[in-house]
Structure 1
């Protein structure tokens, strides 16, 4: 989740091959990007959504991480409201954009052309990292609990959030 754009990637049902899907304009006023993400989750029957959590090299968090956490919480709320039964998880995304630029450069894409696809490539990298963690550890990232927008109550626990 960037302040300007949101890269979206998906993978097959077996969790093997992540592929880029689209880049959305971040819309903090109307949250139209969140609405598109909820629709994609519902249409695809997704069971987990991974949101990149930008950390510093030392593992700390900055304003960008706070933004990612806030958007992940909003997404979890909207998914719960839609009855998606889909868990939202935050996963470390250090170097995802740097690696995306390297990949695009290695593919021969002019750096001026990176902007339109770099977020999708970064999203693929984040999803690949999450899938690798799943295979190695059995889970990836940290779960984001859906809360009621009105009173802050938690809507469910880990056992009923998985689809």
Structure 2
């Protein structure tokens, strides 16, 4: 069973996929989106879901440090509804507090240039979101 992990930003969507056993998450790509214009890269997601026979989607839910839901969390809630309607798959909102910051620290420690970090940060955050979910299952 393959599980898709997503990290929604206002300009990009980080995408990760689990292995068939559901043990590890691997980054696939970062999709350019236009949140304000309603373009969430759904056609590309449809290709990925079909290619990997995805059965579940894990979407990062950016909560505030006090656990409340802010504007980015509301955007994730709205996107989850769009995903469920379009793909008829279960969408689980996963607490992603500090994942982008952790991904950035990991890339900095790996001596990845600032320009390259900007290109892969959302994909890395999607990996961390999905891996956190997978780890919780075992």
The answer to whether TM tops 0.5 is: yes
1:117 corresponds in structure 2 to 120
Q: CA deviation digits over 1:51-110, x for unaligned, max 9?
A: 100001111110000001111110111002xxxxx3111100000100010110111112
1:148 corresponds in structure 2 to none
> For residues 87 and 43 of structure 1, what CA distance do their matches in structure 2 show?
18
Task: Note the 1:10-159 alignment, pairs <5 A.
Answer: 10-28=17-35, 29=37, 31=39, 33-80=41-88, 86-135=89-138
Maintained 8 Å contact 1:38/1:75: no
1:113 shift after superposition: 2.2
Q: Which sections of structure 2, spanning at least 5 residues, go unmatched?
A: 1-7
1:32 shift after superposition: 5.2
Maintained 8 Å contact 1:56/1:62: yes
* Greater relative CO, 1 or 2 (CA 8 Å, sep 6+): 2
**What's the Cα RMSD here?**
1.3
1:139 corresponds in structure 2 to none
**Paired residue secondary structure (2:102):** helix
- Structure of larger gyration radius: 1
**Paired residue secondary structure (1:21):** strand
> For residues 114 and 9 of structure 1, what CA distance do their matches in structure 2 show?
16
TM-score computed with the length of structure 2 as normaliser: 0.88
